[in-house]
Amino acid sequence: MFEPSKNHQTVFFKNKPRIISNYSMVGPLESKGVLKDYFDYVLKKDTFKEKSFELAERKMLEHIIFGAIDKANLKVEDIDAMLSGDLLNQIVSSSFTARKMGLTFIGLYSACATMAESLALGACLVDRKVFDKVVCATASHFSSAERQYRFPLELGNQRPPTSQWTVTGGGASILSLTGKGPYISSATFGRVIDFGIKDVNNMGAAMAPAAMDTIMTHLKATNTTVDDYDMIATGDLGKLGSEILTDLLERKGIKLRQNYSDCGNLIYTKQGKTFMGGSGSGCSASVFNSYIMHKLNSGEFKKVLLVATGALLSTTTSQQGDSIPGIAHAVTVEVDDLKEK
């Protein structure tokens, strides 16, 4: 399980599927961190004028996808397919958003790794000319996730110090071969890795081995080292999880440097009640589609490796005593070398 897989996990894209538009949205707590100036839209209240947190999450995803389409001066009809999933049971935020927007819908689920799964699959479909334009998106909401996965907020449960905070936020990217923007040069689809962690309040530890596996496979397949990237960003390992990843990779002879960050560490500046940092499918989705895409679009970053991480548990598997399997999907996003032009 520690050796890079012999399977054909990594896909290369010769036609440069470009991220021609992207949009990000976060809630009030997320807007107080260092990334605050990078988000397209900040909610003043996390209910978003809806009657339930689930409806607020759905409205966020609608707003995010429409925002990405609008920013590209496109119409909904210009989008061939929506690739999306979310943390709610039966990915209802995504399917109800697809219903409202009338989009062809390819429902996905990789827990908090869904943004990278959608980008990787979207890049396959656009690069190989299955579709002209696809929108890849996800969102999550702290309060709907707490209610579904843990306890309703009204119960006032305490959270242990290893826990993370589901990001209220999300992001969308539109991929196309025509248009301007950074392009996805390769993607690695993850395997499901499980080191036997059973503590549902320690997701970082559960997901770190999957991140290690995917990073090792991706570096080997693309013949790159960690130094070839301006940024390597994991999805939502949080403080503890990213330390575990750093240790795991170091034992394999791969030393992560200053260019390594975790979206869950970046999004909340004052850790406080967010403890180990952000999590949720909206974590990497909002950070990638704001800060990371901004740095790529400005040319400050030339090459980024996004490794979104997901914990593939359910409340039922935990209640029945199963451990927590993790998965990580990775995409390399690059900007054109100006010297080439």
Q: Which residues bind a copy of itself (CB under 8 A)?
A: 1, 5-9, 11, 52, 54-55, 77, 79-81, 85, 88-92, 95-96, 98-99, 102-111, 117, 121, 124-125, 128-132, 148, 189-194, 312-317, 320, 322, 325, 327
- Of the pair 16, 191, the CB lying nearest a copy of itself is at 191
Instruction: Read off the amino acid at residue 14.
Output: K
Cβ at position 63, least distance to a copy of itself in Å: 18
- Of the pair 52, 225, the CB lying nearest a copy of itself is at 52
Cβ at position 329, least distance to a copy of itself in Å: 9
- Of the pair 24, 217, the CB lying nearest a copy of itself is at 217
- Of the pair 30, 57, the CB lying nearest a copy of itself is at 57
Query: Parallel, antiparallel, or unpaired for β 10-12 and 183-188?
Result: antiparallel
Task: Report which secondary-structure segment, H or E, holds 145.
Answer: helix 142-149
DSSP per position, 245-290 = HHHHHHHTT----TTEEEHHHHH-SS-GGGTT-EESHHHHHHHIII
Cβ at position 256, least distance to a copy of itself in Å: 24
28 and 235 Cβ atoms separated by less than 8 Å: no
Residue among 95, 115, 144 at smallest CA distance from 264: 115
Cβ at position 33, least distance to a copy of itself in Å: 28
Cβ at position 174, least distance to a copy of itself in Å: 14
Q: What is the DSSP letter of 5?
A: P
**Angle, CA 259 vertex, CA 293 and CA 24 arms, to 5°:** 25
- Of the pair 239, 329, the CB lying nearest a copy of itself is at 329
Task: Report which secondary-structure segment, H or E, holds 171.
Answer: strand 169-176
Cβ at position 100, least distance to a copy of itself in Å: 8
- Of the pair 78, 243, the CB lying nearest a copy of itself is at 78
Per-position b or e across 194-203, b if 16+ CB within 10 A of its CB:
bbebeebebb
Task: Report which secondary-structure segment, H or E, holds 188.
Answer: strand 183-188
- Of the pair 171, 325, the CB lying nearest a copy of itself is at 325
Cβ at position 165, least distance to a copy of itself in Å: 19
- Of the pair 169, 325, the CB lying nearest a copy of itself is at 325
Assign 227 to helix, strand or coil.
helix
Assign 329 to helix, strand or coil.
strand
Instruction: Read off the amino acid at residue 152.
Output: P
Residue among 46, 35, 36 at smallest CA distance from 166: 46
Cβ at position 183, least distance to a copy of itself in Å: 17
307 and 211 Cβ atoms separated by less than 8 Å: yes
